[in-house]
Structure 1
Amino acid sequence: MLNLVGLVGNNAPQSYNRQLLLDMQQRFQNQAHIDLAEIDQLPLFNEAGLKNTPGCVYALAEQLAAADGIIIATPEYDHAVPAALKSAFEWLSTAAHPFTTKPIMIVGASLGVQGTARAQDNLRQILNSPGVNGFVMPGYEFLLNNAPSQFDDQGRLTNDKTVAFLTECFDHYVKFVQDNVADLKLVREG
């Protein structure tokens, strides 16, 4: 069974992206073990802080590095990823490099009708940056729009077409990880 980490892409106490990852954790428990990782304890990145990188940065880096793959759930603010997520990548691309050649799936939930299309494009650029070097699954972008109306009282997705597409995306991601994880491990180990 795959060991994956779902990275909650914001620092809000209530998050539809966390809810989406929790739904995936439960829904796909027979295909993968998904642990959630939070960024809410990370301070804003500050280059001077690299001299004394906080332990929480290294703890998050270790959790991500130990996974077979990473699912990043991002909201969209002003056509981009949240500042907290961008800051997390800045810490993780300088103090440690847990995304290097790591199979990554991007998902996102938003309040609006366009989902997180622009934030996901922004995130793909970040993941392609020197020091990050993520290995992002092509295609199969999961964009959950109108998030407040998409979950029931137990936090489960309710729309059958949405669930079917999420399942299709996740199945492709599992295959993407399985097809690439051994080769990517060799690349990481050099």
Structure 2
Amino acid sequence: MAKVQLVGIVGNNAPFSYNRMLLSFMQQHFNDQITLDICEIDDIPLFNESHLAAVPDAVATLSLKIKAADGVIIATPEYDHAIPACLKSTIEWLSVYEHALSTKPVMIVGASLGVQGTARAQDNLRQILNSPGVNGFVMPGFEFLLNCAKDKFDEEGTLTDFSTVKFLRDCVDHFLVFVRENEKAFASENR
């Protein structure tokens, strides 16, 4: 079976990010099933609808990658019970420029320093991805929330807890089924 082509979006613009580490781990650990293109959003400016005539190159590039992919994984931290402003701004750009996330299967993951993980940020992101103009197909259930991230990775960026890695594999396996079912549904709809 061919590998599933995915885009992984690092949901913050910090030079150091546990969410970047999480996506890098997924890229390496699940490379038998997926090809994961990790994309940064640090060069995407704040959304400003008065600048729609000149969409930034970084937005156009990310949009093209998302449209070409089979699905998207967004790794978000949690800032003040929500997603970071830079991630919200990126989604706003994508919602008005070519609607790249529309009907695209999306998996949400998140790493946080706190004990609650990214539960509220993931709920916030689900609402945003469900909004008109975005219309992402977010995988239901199988939410991967990595709490106390500082203690979960070793020096090489490897997740060290066996049960955490096992659950992450379960989540990825379910997402791959979700992606394939989405492809089948749209293939039969377009016959």
| TM interval, short-chain normalised | over 0.9
Q: Percent identity?
A: 61
Q: Does 1:38 align with 2:40?
A: yes
Determine the C-alpha separation between the residues in 2 that align with 1:166 and 1:71.
Answer: 12
**Shift of residue 47 of structure 1?**
1.1
Please give the alpha-carbon distance, in whole angstroms, between the structure 2 residues aligned to 1:83 and 1:185.
35
Q: Which segments of 5 or more consecutive residues in structure 1 lack a partner in the other structure?
A: none
- Aligned twin of 1:92: 94
Residue 173 in structure 1 maps to residue 175 in structure 2? yes
- Structure 1 runs of 4+ aligned residues shifted over 4 Å read none
CA distance in 2, matches of 1:130, 1:25: 30
Q: Which residue number in structure 2 is paired with residue 2 of structure 1?
A: 4
Q: Distance in 2 between matches of 1:174 and 1:6?
A: 14
Contact 1:74 1:108 in 2 (8 A): yes
RMSD of aligned alpha carbons? 1.4
Helix, strand or coil at the partner of 1:143? strand
Q: Which residue of 2 aligns with 1:25?
A: 27
Question: Structure 2 matches for 1:28-177, cutoff 5 A?
Answer: 28-177=30-179
Q: Unpaired runs of 5+ in structure 2?
A: none
TM-score for both structures, normalised by structure 2: 0.95
For residues 23 and 87 of structure 2, the distance between their equivalents in structure 1, rounded to whole angstroms, comes to 16
Residue identity in the other structure for 2:137: F
- Distance in 1 between the 2:9 and 2:186 partners? 20
2:181 match: secondary structure? helix
CA distance in 2, matches of 1:114, 1:144: 8
What letter is aligned with 1:50?
L
Q: After superposition, give the CA deviation of every residue in 1:135-189 in whole Å (9 maximum; x if it has no partner).
A: 01100000000001100111000001111110111111111111212323676x7
SS of the aligned residue for 1:184 comes to: helix
In 2, Cα distance between equivalents of 1:43 and 1:8 = 15
Equivalent residues, number: 189
Q: In the TM superposition, what is the alpha-carbon distance from 1:96 to its structure 2 partner?
A: 2.1
